[in-house]
Amino acid sequence: MADDTAESGWFESVPPDDPDAVRDAIDNGSADTPDDWPALAVDAGFADDADDYYRRLHDATVHATREAVRERERADDQQLKYGIRAMDDADRTANELAERVAEWAGALFDEAGTGVDGARAVAERTPETAAEERIVSLATRVVDLADEAADCRAFVERTAPAVAPNLSRMAGPVLAARLIALAGGLGELAKKPSGTVQVLGAEDALFAHLAGRAPSPKHGVIFTHDYVRNTRPEDRGSAARALAGKLVIAARIDHYAGDLRPEVHEELDERMATIRARVES
């Protein structure tokens, strides 16, 4: 608590029925030594008795926790997490339903394409029977989901560079968002060791390895990065380790500083050039 309230307690001049005021007093207060806070709270008129003091303190801490969670969930990196997950869900569902549309449309029409493009063609038809009405309606839903997935991708590609400039430049906005989502947030990603980041997204393979049923995975979702995917198989382990190490550095810079550091990207390019040069040696 502040020095001017040291004798009366952190609840000095705090309305007991104002949870935000109580939260602010708890968050910003401090004390040099312990004291009989319940008794002081009663003397100050903050509480009727010790039980009432602890009840109000409990309510205030629960409120503070709830507000902290709400603030955290509204953070930009969390919006990236939800955006990339929504994009994946919409894309997966659209493709699954597109298979159903292709199967059903193939039984009704002489010409029926496949995939989302085939569903778009079906959605443009004018139905003439009850069955055709249903397949056209289903195809329209597929188109809507595919468009929503594209809109979510556009949101991710716009937002990621602002939230994590170095990570987005190094991994690309979509992979950067995917790594943030898998880690649970930018701060959580920044705290992870590079070995963990290297296999993010390969948890099933990692658990199978730990159980003795499979070899150790060399990479997770970072396989989609050009530096891993387009490196010859025998060098992908080295490429994945190098990339993961720099991705962690990029995430830490983004989380703790937020400024773009070109030298980090240059170092990765140089390291990857060395790894890929092994083909010629």
**Tens of pLDDT, residues 160-217:** 999 999 999 999 999 999 999 999 999 999 999 999 999 998 877 777 767 777 777 7
Last residue of a domain, one of 115, 140, 162: 162
Residue at which a domain ends, from 162, 190, 216: 162
DSSP string computed for 224-237:
GSHHHHTS-GGGHH
Its pTM stands at 0.74
186 and 95 part of one domain: no
Number of separate domains in the chain: 3
Radius of gyration of the chain (CA): 28
Q: 87 and 130: one domain? A: yes
Q: Are 269 and 158 part of one and the same domain? A: no
Q: Mind listing the pLDDT tens digit for each residue in 36-93?
A: 888 888 887 888 888 888 888 788 778 777 777 666 666 789 999 999 999 999 999 9
In a shared domain, residues 142 and 200: no
| Domain housing 143 | 75-162
CATH number at residue 215: 1.10.246.90
Whether residue 168 is found in the same domain as residue 158: no
> Are residues 62 and 41 part of one domain?
yes
Residues 138 and 176 in one domain: no
Smallest CA-to-CA distance from 225 within 181, 168, 278, 165 is with 168
Same domain, residue pair 80 and 146: yes
Both structure tokens of 159: 């937002």
pLDDT value at position 6? 46
Final residue of a domain: which of 17, 49, 73?
73
Q: How far apart are CA 164 and CA 22, in angstroms?
A: 34
